[in-house]
Amino acid sequence: MGVLGVCLKICGWFPVVFITAVIIWSYYAYVVELCIFILVGKSIPLMLLYLVLYHVFLVMFLWVYWRTIWTPVAKVPDEFYLTSSELQQYEAEDRNEEKIEILKSLARDKRLPIWTRTYGGGMRYCHICKLIKPDRCHHCSMCNVCILKMDHHCPWVNNCVCYSNYKFFVLFLFYTILYCFYVAITVLPFFIQFWEGDLGDRAARKFQIVFLFFAAVMFCLSVVILMCMHTHLTLTNRSTLESFRAPVFRHGPDKEGFSRGSFSNNFKEIFGDQKRYWLLPIFTSKGDGVSYPVQARDQDSDRLLDGDVESDIGSGLENEDRGAGKKGMRESIKTSTTYSTMEASGVAEGGTGNHATVHMDQGEGAQVNLAIESDSRR
């Protein structure tokens, strides 16, 4: 890393330092100026109530903020990277079509669980990391690495928001709103007293209260907008990047492609099934960040063959790879045991069944589609 890289890395922490400074100042203004200097002369029980609730919201806010910042980003597993010999073969090839064929072949041989492709129909490949991108994975130019289910790179936490910390990020927005709302609502009576001239003589204290109220309202309103957006994304199982640029499936670009059929199921994909963990920054998201259940139409279920793996990649000839049976397929979809079947909602998924098929269509460009049909479907 050069000098410029080090400078950029240091600069990346400025927004976090700014937020931390605002928190420290708000702590002083609320606890010292409001609770200790103003409230103590008015009502001790009210002061204690203010202080207890304030610290509950503050601790939850700091906990989720810490987890969002320091949770390591979800990186791509080794099998998606090209080995040195594969890379040599890939880079030695000049023709684009042949490069695509090489990637297709690698994806097929390694049984990578990939459903999406580029807008041009090719394999999604990162030329910087030298890997075949898993579904929902994107290269972050700030982190300079491919990130699983990348949502966006957030300067306020100086970290990529992705598969491993998306729940923490949504909770961070939620607790920021709670913290700011609580501060604003409890400071409001004293803010009114300021305008009525009942807040004592000390100008510095009066302005601390006024600024505290304005800062709380301002942060609350701006984060509410962001929270509305991420609530919508959570309930539709979409990342920010996918909401701007739809992932491309067999049937074309589709923002709903990873939806689990209902708001409730989409919410549980990120927050998990157990309600007691929903409000805590403990990782409970489903899956492994690599393979995702997709809409049933992408599985082309009419072409499923019992226990067979079918391939129509490359020259148009059908090459059946019967050696790759359901056992290998199960292994290739690592999330299989964490997902249950959702036949009614039209979403099919891997894991509970005993039936596997791979499709690689030349017509659609380079792609690998994996599907497992559940017992109940057959």
Annotated catalytic residues are: 154
Out of 75, 111, 153, 238, the only residue in the binding site for Zn ion (CB under 5 A) is: 153
CB of 133 to Zn ion, least distance (A): 7
CB of 117 to Zn ion, least distance (A): 17
**Is 142 among the residues that bind Zn ion (CB under 5 A)?**
yes
Give whichever of 129 and 329 is closer to Zn ion, judged by the CB atom.
129
Out of 100, 106, 107, 146, the only residue in the binding site for Zn ion (CB under 5 A) is: 146
CA 90 distance to own-chain centroid = 31
| C-alpha to C-alpha distance for 242 and 114, rounded to whole angstroms | 16
Stretch that binds Zn ion, among 58-66, 80-88, 123-131, 248-256 (CB under 5 A): 123-131
**Is 128 among the residues that bind Zn ion (CB under 5 A)?**
yes
| C-alpha to C-alpha distance for 312 and 295, rounded to whole angstroms | 21
Give whichever of 72 and 200 is closer to Zn ion, judged by the CB atom.
72
Among all chains, which residue has been given the structure tokens 């922490």?
13
| C-alpha to C-alpha distance for 50 and 38, rounded to whole angstroms | 12
**Is 143 among the residues that bind Zn ion (CB under 5 A)?**
yes
**Is 235 among the residues that bind Zn ion (CB under 5 A)?**
no
**Is 75 among the residues that bind Zn ion (CB under 5 A)?**
no
Residues 12-71 that bind Zn ion (CB under 5 A): none
DSSP labels, 182-210: HHHHHHHHHHHHHHHT-S-S-HHHHHHHH
**Is 139 among the residues that bind Zn ion (CB under 5 A)?**
yes
**Is 87 among the residues that bind Zn ion (CB under 5 A)?**
no
Stretch that binds Zn ion, among 46-54, 156-164, 187-195, 266-274 (CB under 5 A): 156-164
User: CA of 165: how far to CAs of 75, 147, 153, 225, 279, in Å?
Assistant: 12, 11, 12, 20, 14
DSSP labels, 322-364: TTS-HHHHHHH-TTGGG---BTTTTEE-SSS-SEEEEE-BSTT
CB of 74 to Zn ion, least distance (A): 11
CB of 27 to Zn ion, least distance (A): 29
CB of 141 to Zn ion, least distance (A): 8
Residues 6+ apart with CB under 8 A from 202: none
Residues 254-283 that bind Zn ion (CB under 5 A): none
User: Pick from 72, 96, 283: which is nearest to 171 by CA?
Assistant: 283
The pairing of beta strand 248-249 with beta strand 252-253? antiparallel
What would the two tokens of residue 172 be?
Answer: 């961070």
The strand pairing partners of 117, in sequence order, are: 248
Helices (H), 35-95: 44-70, 84-92
| C-alpha to C-alpha distance for 101 and 94, rounded to whole angstroms | 12
**Is 126 among the residues that bind Zn ion (CB under 5 A)?**
yes
**Is 8 among the residues that bind Zn ion (CB under 5 A)?**
no
Residues 295/347, Cβ–Cβ less than 8 Å: yes
CB of 177 to Zn ion, least distance (A): 24
Stretch that binds Zn ion, among 144-152, 213-221, 271-279, 306-314 (CB under 5 A): 144-152
Stretch that binds Zn ion, among 88-96, 134-142, 242-250, 304-312 (CB under 5 A): 134-142
* Residue ranges in contact with Zn ion by CB under 5 A: 126, 128-129, 139-140, 142-143, 146, 153, 160
